[in-house]
Chains A and B, each alone.
Chain A
Amino acid sequence: MDNNIVIDVRNITKKFKVYFDKGAQLKERLLFRKRNRYEERDVLKGISFQVQKGEAVGLIGHNGCGKSTTLKLLTKIMYPDSGEIVMQGRISSLIELGAGFHPDMSGRENIYTNASIFGLTKKEIDARFNDIVEFSELAEFIDNPVRTYSSGMYMRLAFSVAINVDADILLIDEILAVGDTNFQTKCFNRLRELKSGGMTVIIVTHDLSTIEKFCDKAIWLNDGLIVREGRSDEVVDAYFRFMNDKKLETEKKAVPEKSGEPEQSENNIQEDSGEIDYSANRFGLRHAEIKKARMLNPENKDTRIFRTGERLTIEISYHINRPDEYVFGFGFYDMDGRCLYGNNTQLDRMKISPENTDGRISVDIESFPLLAGKYILNVAIVDADGTPMDFYRSYCEFEVVSHDRSTGYFSIEHNWRL
């Protein structure tokens, strides 16, 4: 075996028995035979991979794909049904921080107890004690019982112990979500240091940016099998695409045709009263009314989920009570109510005086620029002077999925040059 390979996973499988109603007691086992029925679920269907010394590897996949199970097998909390895992060196895990903390004991005592769970001797802990306390920034609280700690302090102490074990292999499961950002940054910096010192790191997380930033390699698991393995950015990209497609798919299945009814239909019709309640979600004089607005995807389906860069059509069905010149508008807002984009027929220098009482107007956005996220659509009819006739502050919410992983609101075409 190559000396540089510190983790060698060979074709491991794992089944779980999922009991419908498990009886752990003799009486139950004998009396309720039927209750002992269980289903065997293949969580891992034969996966193999190798990790070299000093590599950081991220395991990704949706819930239940087997990534946490893989990690548990690596820590030897569980054993594979078949296959083999060969690992070299001391293993430390950040799977469950602070497991084994005793609330009544002081931080100091818990450091000793907790570190001993990682297999450290008293001497080894003595040598690391100051580093641990310093890293946790808890020096002044170290002799207080742990039950008096805030959850952030608790995690800080636990993390500090685990990271100072001097492991050759560190296994991390979705834990860096805790603690304030400063401490998180500190943790990552420390992890980077350890990594450059030759420590091997395996991370399981849903946070793809962590994987991309920190890991050299990523392994994408789906349904107990490895879908893709390779450079982390490539794997993350592929996984991202897959997840987006899946999201669209489920949306289509779940809601075949969304009714275009507004989510709130407040009908405070203010016929000719001349007074307009601007604070309402829907307001206006109703000389012209919005009957319905639809958001259409490239297949002309009314939906609430779209893709960045594809066509989006907004179609407003209106009813005219008093023929006049009207202005039709729409706008996109973020969930905090900030306007991201707004436009209307007047700004686009169109004059519209509808002749029929009922009609439809639509606007095509050829390449929808908003990035992934949730947004709010507003639609409105105002008259030529800007007096609201029918104004929906929030007509509906919609969601955008995207391959573009830029931050901010808009997808902007760009090319890097060197």
Chain B
Amino acid sequence: MDTLKEIYAYRHMIFSLVRKDLRGRYKGSVLGFLWTFINPLLQLVVYTVVFKIILKTNIERYYLYLFIALIAWIFFSASLTGGAASIVAQKDLIKKIYFPRQVIPISYVTSCFVNMLLSFIVVFIVIIFSGTGFNFSALLYLPVIMVVEYILSLGAALIVSAVTVYFRDLEHILGIVTMALMYMTPIMYDKSIVPERLLPIFNLNPMTHIIGCYRDILYYKTVPELSGLLSSFVLGTVFLIAGHFLFLKLQRHFAEEL
């Protein structure tokens, strides 16, 4: 409880770290902040070419189908890989000044989150121009699923950021793991084509449900299935609580290990 209070007291530090991160990320590049939008758009082009034109998937408006999932996925995977390095990257600060260490992964995940929100502006533009339109009652669930994904991402980031301090390989291992996870989550294909015997594994993956919800809301324009939403919320909360306690324990020796 004290920790939460303290983190709240340091909220301005979180804000300024997020701002610094967002502003500093593309500093010096010609296109600057535009990269926030260009990056996912280029990924979209690549995957669309591969899956729609070469592999000839028969999903309608595949670019939108993929885009929604991709933006949501990028938030999670960036939180995981970048979150892992976040504490190590701020070692100068940690070795010299006291502040609740959780501030760093929280800031990192939050800045990824803000990036996702900004990317959703592009998603909305695409939705409008494709003539897909919105279902406004379904749209009410969008913030909910975003919060659920935030909780999950933060929990995961707390764990990997703390562990990476003691075990630096994790950062590189996570590069492979997130790639594998990406193909193990129905992002570029539909869950319906997953073989029956693999389904239990897919259902264990919280991102399967989260991506599903995003698609329900924006692509299929329906209210998402509550069971999927609930199970991903429960899983996310478990991650967050586990992450919180693990972090609390591991952070005691950060200054010495860094």
Within 8 A of A (CB), among B12-64: 12-13, 15-17, 20, 24, 27
Who on chain B is nearest to A91 by CB? B98
| Segment of B65-73, B88-96, B135-143 engaged in the interface with chain A | B88-96
Residues of A within 8 A of B98 (CB): 75-77, 91, 93
User: Within the assembled complex, what's the spacing in Å between the Cα atoms of A79 and B98?
Assistant: 11
Binary interface encoding of chain B residues 82-126 relative to chain A, with 1 for a CB under 8 A from any of its CBs, else 0: 000000000011111111000000000000000000000000000
In the complex, residue of chain B having the shortest beta-carbon distance to the beta carbon of A104: B27
Q: Which residue of A lies closest to B27 (CB)?
A: A104
Q: Are B99 and A119 in contact (CB under 8 A)?
A: yes
**A105 at interface by CB-CB < 8 Å:** yes
**What 0/1 readout, one digit per residue, does chain A (66-82) give for beta carbons within 8 Å of chain B?**
00000010011111000
Structural contact, B168 and A24, CB atoms closer than 8 A: yes
Q: Are B93 and A99 in contact (CB under 8 A)?
A: yes
A341 close to chain B: CB less than 8 A: no
| Contact partners of B6 in chain A: CB under 8 A | 119
CB 8 Å contact bits of A2-15 with B (1 = contact, 0 = none): 00000000000000
Name the residue on A nearest B13 (C-beta): A116
Taken residue by residue from 199 to 233, chain B's Cβ proximity to chain A (1 for < 8 Å, 0 otherwise) reads as: 00000000000000000000000000000000000
Known: A17-B256, A116-B12. A26 touches B167 (CB 8 A): yes
* CB of A354 to closest CB in B, whole Å: 67
Q: Are B10 and A116 in contact (CB under 8 A)?
A: yes
Within 8 A of B (CB), among A102-133: 102, 104-105, 112-113, 116-122, 125
Q: Is A273's CB within 8 Å of the partner chain B?
A: no
A113–B255 CB distance below 8 A: no
CA distance A117 to B252 in the complex (A): 19
Contact A120 B12 (CB under 8 A): yes
* Separation of A116 and B14 alpha carbons in the complex (Å): 8
Whether B96 pairs with A112 at a CB distance below 8 angstroms is no
Bound CA–CA A95/B95 (angstroms): 10
Q: How close is B173's CB to chain A, nearest CB, in angstroms?
A: 8
> Could you say which residues of chain B place their CB within 8 Å of the CB of A310?
none
Give A158 Cβ to nearest chain B Cβ, in Å.
11
Report which of A17, A24, A75, A117 forms a contact with B13, defined as CB distance below 8 A: A117
Note all chain A residues with C-beta closer than 8 A to B191: none
In the bound complex, do residue B20 and residue A105 qualify as a contact, i.e. CB atoms below 8 Å apart?
A: yes
CB distance from A29 to the nearest CB of B (A): 8
Whether A32 is near chain B, meaning CB under 8 Å from some CB there, is: no
- The closest CB in chain A to the CB of B11 belongs to A121
- Taking A72-B255, A100-B92 as given, write out 17 further A-B residue pairs in contact, using a Cβ cutoff of 8 Å, ordered by the A residue number: A24-B167, A24-B168, A76-B98, A77-B97, A78-B252, A79-B252, A96-B96, A96-B97, A99-B96, A113-B16, A113-B17, A113-B20, A116-B13, A117-B13, A119-B6, A120-B12, A122-B15
- 4 interchain residue pairs of minimum CB distance: A96-B96, A116-B13, A116-B12, A99-B96
**Chain A residues close to B by CB (< 8 Å):** 16-17, 24-27, 72, 75-79, 91, 93, 95-96, 99-100, 102, 104-105, 112-113, 116-122, 125
A-B contact pairs, 12 of them (CB 8 A): A24-B168, A77-B98, A78-B255, A91-B98, A93-B97, A95-B96, A99-B92, A113-B20, A116-B12, A116-B16, A117-B93, A121-B11
Q: Which residues of B contact A (CB under 8 A)?
A: 6, 9-13, 15-17, 20, 24, 27, 92-99, 167-169, 252-253, 255-256
